[in-house]
Structure 1
Amino acid sequence: MTTTAGVADLIGAFYRDVHNGRNPDRAADYLAAGYRSHHPAADGSLDGFRRTRTALLGDFPDLDARVDHLLVQNDRAMVFAHWTGTHRDHGPLRMGTADLYRVSGDRITEHWGVVDYSALLRMGMPVTDQARQPGEPPDWRCGRAEREALRLVIRVWEEVMTQHRLELTERYYRQDYIQHNEYAARSGAGLAGMKQFFAGLFQLAPDFSSQIKQLVVDGDKVGLFATWRGREASSGRELALATADVLRIEDGLIAEHWDVMDFAAVAKFGVG
């Protein structure tokens, strides 16, 4: 039987031994024989993981991950991490990623991911369309407060992020909302700054809408993967990106936000 504590321990050991241990050959100790990654940059099998990780370490021999958030719900774990390393030709790297893993027994069986490719793009490395990864419905097997947190986030994505009804944010966010996305925080502090940021984004692309692809709730935090699509009003160019977010809920309201956003996908629009 897969337990929450068991999932957390497995993922922690996977990052310690395989990623930070820089030992792709140990992947078989953690990934199932039928492991599948849905991320388009991944060669989605166990052997593919080893090949991809070995090639990455060839470019970044000192690559290291710091886990910022680990959310576990039943058989899934969502990990937000910052990676640092030094490219053999292009110098230092700082990169954010979010990964979602499904666990069965003592092995990871499935994977989805969101990568901020902006640092890799500057180094001439290829980027991929992350928005095409498959989604799945929420897992409602959780406590009452956690189910309410999931419903809150779903309402926000439907009414605010897709319908652009920024006047409704007063119902869903604390006035002293804390924003950890440095780019978004330039619009100002608190709920007022959040509204200002999204007002500008919706002006850039009036048909901009978002779809939640994955949701995980763990205590007072909700993690999600989402895709965003729209067209720039002035040019008609398509805007498409993938994001991953952590929202901390306090007294039924969104109080704090962290994310991984693929700035490479929106750089041509002056975002980032």
Structure 2
Amino acid sequence: MKHTARHHRTALMSALVMALSGHVSVVAAAGNASSPAHSTQKAKVAHMTSESKTRVASLLKAIETGESGPVSAINPNKYIQHNLAVADGLSGFGAVLQALPKGSARVNTVRIFQDGDFVFAHTEYDFFGPRIGFDIFRFEDGRIVEHWDNLQPTPAAPNPSGRTMTDGPTTPGDLDRTDENKALVKAFVDDILVGGKTDRLAGYFNGDDYRQHNPNIADGLSGLGAALQAMAKANVTMKYARVHKVLGEGNFVLVVSEGEFAGQPTSFYDLFRVEAGKIAEHWDTMETVSPQSEWRNANGKFGF
């Protein structure tokens, strides 16, 4: 018999209460062989990576379905929250779920990646309104202990090149070049977005072949240039001040930065796809950092 949305929501809230009481069982991590062969170790790492991604995807989907099982991915004794509108711990997560109108949430995770202990996801939400979000989860001993996110309202229409904020490739390639691709993207952000060294811009791209998913910018360096000119004419400034984290899997690299947009403190999450040693595609979200007087936790927006 199919459960109702109310039943699932109640089950999820019950799971949160149980977790806070320490009664949710821990999902066992893969065991360690005493002297594993190299191929066995690679298979184990691949399994753990796949498992962590699956657990994150299930936890996010539970916001919509109300399923209780995925809550066991979170360590009830240590859950550090960096969404400034949410209190620390499972109690903070539960309070947000309780505030949602029944049956209103929708969650569609479009792409998900892992870099060591970090899993990061790119998701379409209808969560107090339609939004596009990046979520980062940190795992410790097989369970989630920390969360960051960056959310932006979903635009009403595609960008000037007909692209949405989430369409495009989803599967990472060039897995053996992760570190190289992270270094390339980090250098681009440091040189261009933070350092303003525009004379180096062309070296990071294959001519004008650059797919753009920012809702206000067209494809190519030409589209980026036109957008920057329009911003300057409107006296709208954008400044990247500091890079906090660079995460990657294969040819996808996420950069978390802070700075200012239109005079407001802003969190920038930029996802890049690298192709043959050049930046080929870009997705992003920008979120204004709220005043500290409004924070529901003391962890800060970044805190890596």
Q: TM-score range by the shorter chain?
A: 0.7 to 0.9
Cα deviation 1:160-210 (Å, max 9, x = unaligned): 11222223221002221000112122xxx3121123323554674668233
Number of corresponding residues: 224
What's the offset of the Cα at 1:5? Answer: 1.4
Q: Which residue of 165, 185, 188 corresponds with 1:156?
A: 188
Q: What aligned pairs does 1:96-107 form with structure 2 within 5 A after superposition? A: 96-107=132-143
Q: Which residue of 213, 236, 246 corresponds with 1:180?
A: 213
Q: Which residue of 52, 76, 89 corresponds with 1:7?
A: 52
Q: Tell me which residue corresponds to 1:38.
A: 82
Cα deviation 1:116-135 (Å, max 9, x = unaligned): 1589xxxxxxxxxxxxxxxx
Determine whether 1:70 maps to 2:95.
no
Q: Tell me which residue corresponds to 2:249.
A: 218
Q: Distance in 1 between matches of 2:275 and 2:80?
A: 36
Determine whether 1:262 maps to 2:293.
no
CA contact (8 A) 1:164 1:202 kept: no
CA-based RMSD: 2.8
Residues 241, 264 of structure 1: alpha-carbon distance in 2 compared, 3 angstrom cutoff: closer
Q: Tell me which residue corresponds to 1:227.
A: 258
Q: Which residue of 72, 85, 90 corresponds with 1:29?
A: 72
CA contact (8 A) 2:59 2:71 kept: no
**AA paired with 2:267?**
A
Length-normalised TM-score, structure 2? 0.65
CA contact (8 A) 1:71 1:223 kept: no
Secondary structure of the residue aligned to 2:75 is strand
Residues 36, 162 of structure 1: alpha-carbon distance in 2 compared, 3 angstrom cutoff: same
Structure of larger gyration radius: 2
Secondary structure of the residue aligned to 1:258 is strand
Q: Distance in 1 between matches of 2:119 and 2:192?
A: 27
Secondary structure of the residue aligned to 1:97 is strand
Runs of 4+ in structure 1 deviating by more than 6 angstroms, as ranges, are none
Q: What aligned pairs does 1:66-145 form with structure 2 within 5 A after superposition? A: 66-84=108-126, 93-116=129-152, 145=177
Q: Distance in 2 between matches of 1:221 and 1:198?
A: 25
**AA paired with 2:72?**
D
CA contact (8 A) 2:81 2:88 kept: yes
Q: Distance in 2 between matches of 1:117 and 1:75?
A: 28
Q: Tell me which residue corresponds to 2:202.
A: 170
Secondary structure of the residue aligned to 1:99 is strand
Secondary structure of the residue aligned to 1:183 is coil
What's the offset of the Cα at 1:44? Answer: 1.5
Secondary structure of the residue aligned to 1:19 is helix
Identity of aligned residues (%): 19
